[in-house]
Amino acid sequence: MTQQEQDAILGRTRREYREAKNKFGALKKLNSEIADLARNLASALEQYPERLMIGNLPQGSLAQVMTDAKCVYTPEDADRLSPESLCTHLAEYIKVKELKARLRKELVEQGDDDPEA
């Protein structure tokens, strides 16, 4: 393999690692958002379940709803906490984490500096 081919492979591996690292960071941020959502829902269920609203806000009565409801969850929030959504998200998280680790190892094996050192 020529030096030019080796450099091309190293460059591609660096790019793929950068992309995986960025995606992994976004997934970690989403983990945090989902955890916050779940904590807030758990707190609302424990402290004031009668004032918990799940669904879209009714039109024209936003002020009254916000006064009466302590915690409002949209259908999108509920979907993010569904078992299917959580399983899909966690599978993607694990896949990207493993890809990032594999690419990091490849970079080091190719003689590049450890990107996480």
**62 has pLDDT over 50:** no
Over residues 52-71, the mean pLDDT reads: 58
Q: Report yes or no on 115 lying in a domain.
A: no
Domain residues for 51?
A: 3-109
DSSP one-letter code for 53: E
For 10-14, 21-25, 46-50, 81-85, which range has the lowest pLDDT when averaged over its residues?
Answer: 46-50
Q: Report yes or no on 100 lying in a domain.
A: yes
Over residues 14-40, the mean pLDDT reads: 94
Q: Report yes or no on 116 lying in a domain.
A: no
Give 66-94 pLDDT, tens digit per residue.
455 566 677 788 888 889 999 999 999 99
**Count of structural domains within the chain:** 1
Q: pLDDT category, 27, cuts 50, 70, 90?
A: very high
Q: Report yes or no on 114 lying in a domain.
A: no
Q: What pTM, to 2 d.p., does this model score?
A: 0.78
Residue 42 to residue 3: CA distance in whole angstroms: 57
pLDDT at 79: 85
pLDDT at 54: 73
Residue 46 to residue 65: CA distance in whole angstroms: 20
**97 has pLDDT over 50:** yes
pLDDT at 56: 63
Q: Report yes or no on 21 lying in a domain.
A: yes
Q: Report yes or no on 14 lying in a domain.
A: yes
Q: Report yes or no on 117 lying in a domain.
A: no
